[in-house]
């Protein structure tokens, strides 16, 4: 299980990073979202991966670490708000600058540089 979990987190963050380095705002926003998913998974695993453990302490026996769950919950809320903001910002930038490049450059200028 650990291996699968680690690979999932790694692939998610790698794809997130790759997309964040793209030139247009939409892939960048998607990349940020993927990265925040990877973060949430990573945080969750930091309390140690236990299976068949109680989520809430219920008498003796093993139980899952509750703190990472609280952290993930906070991180999800904040990540969601930030993604929403980034989407609005990207739309505003598209509207004001006439294109969706992160540097606000025009398509012709990009052609020239090639």
Partner 1 sequence: MLMSHLIVLPIVLPLATAVVLLLSRLGGARFKRALSLVATLALLLISFLLLREADSGTVQYYALGDWQPPFGIVMVLDRLSALMVLVTALLAVGCVVFACGGDDEKGSNFHGLFHLQLMGINGAFLTGDLFNLFVFFEVLLLASYALLLHGGGKSRIQSAVHYAVLNLAGSALFLFAVGMLYGATGTLNMADMAAAVSQLDPERSGLVVAGALLLLVVFGLKAAILPLYFWLPRAYAAAPPPVAALFAVMTKIGVYAILRVYLLIFGEDAGPLEALEQPWVWWLGLATLAIAGIGVLASRDLRMLVAYLVLVSVGTLLAGVGMRSPAAVSALLFYLVHTTLVTGGLFLLAEMIGLQRGKAGTRLVKGRAPGMGTALLFLIGAITVAGLPPLSGAIGKVLLLAAAEGAQRLWLWPLLLATGLCALIALARAGSTLFWRGQESDDNDSRQSCWQWAGVCWLLAASPLMVVLAGPLTQYTDAAAVQLSEPSVMIEALLTPKEDAS
- Helix axis angle for 2-20 and 25-45, nearest 10°, is 160
Residues with Cβ within 8 Å of 31's Cβ and at least 6 positions away in sequence, in order, are: 15, 16, 17, 18, 19, 20, 21, 22
47 binds partner 1 (CB under 8 A): yes
Residue of the chain from 104, 106, 109, 110 that contacts partner 1 (CB under 8 A):
104
Q: Provide the minimum distance between the beta carbon of 111 and partner 1 in the complex, in angstroms, as a whole number.
A: 20
- Smaller CB distance to partner 1: residue 57 or 82? 82
36 binds partner 1 (CB under 8 A): yes
**Nearest Cα residue to 82 out of 24, 39, 18, 23:** 39
Rounded CA separation 68/44 (Å): 5
Name the site residues for partner 1 (rule: CB under 8 A): 16, 20, 25, 28, 32, 35-36, 38-39, 42-43, 45-48, 67-68, 71, 74-75, 78, 81-82, 85-86, 89-90, 92-93, 96-97, 102-104
């Amino acid at each position: 299980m650990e291996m699968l979990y680690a690979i999932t987190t790694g692939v998610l963050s790698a794809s997130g990073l790759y997309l964040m380095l793209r030139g247009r705002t939409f892939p960048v926003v998607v990349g940020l979202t993927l990265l925040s998913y990877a973060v949430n998974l990573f945080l969750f695993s930091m309390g140690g991966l236990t299976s068949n453990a109680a989520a809430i302490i219920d008498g003796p026996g093993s139980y899952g670490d509750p703190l990472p769950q609280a952290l993930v919950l906070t991180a999800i809320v904040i990540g969601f708000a930030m993604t929403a903001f980034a989407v609005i910002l990207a739309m505003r930038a598209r509207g004001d600058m006439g294109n969706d490049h992160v540097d606000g450059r025009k398509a012709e200028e990009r052609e020239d540089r090639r």
